[in-house]
Amino acid sequence: MVDSTDPLVLDLVEWIAREPRLYSEVIETWRTSCPRLTIWEDAVDRGFVTREMVAGAGVRVAVTEGGAMLLRAHGRAG
């Protein structure tokens, strides 16, 4: 069964794939007050994105190999 949030998770992964983003930017942009829209959590739980500490910059979010595979599977790989 396809989850109704799957297209949004795909959009998030694609957005991050364009360029690694700071964690603060990701959370600010993709924040939601709806407990049913757990886009960020779903992307992390499914292994599509990861957080990395970058000296002097803070925490950066980047797409994992699993996220890149998701994008390719949906024709969104650049």
Residue pair 50/61 in contact by the 8 Å Cβ criterion: yes
pTM metric for this prediction:
0.85
Residues of the chain under the 70 pLDDT cut: 1-5, 78
> What was the pLDDT predicted at 37?
72
pLDDT at res. 3 = 57
Give the structural domain span for 28.
Answer: 6-73
Angle at 2 between CA 71 and CA 36, to 5 degrees: 100
> CATH code at 57?
1.10.10.10
Strand positions, DSSP E, 1-72: 21-22, 49-54, 58-63
Q: Give domain status of residue 1, yes or no.
A: no
* The pLDDT of residue 1: 44
pLDDT value at position 4?
54
Residue 78: inside a domain: no
pLDDT at res. 2: 53
Is there a contact between 39 and 15 (Cβ–Cβ < 8 Å)?
no
Q: How many domains does the chain have?
A: 1
Quick one: CA torsion of 53, 56, 62, 64, rounded to 10 degrees? -40
Q: Is residue 51 part of a domain?
A: yes
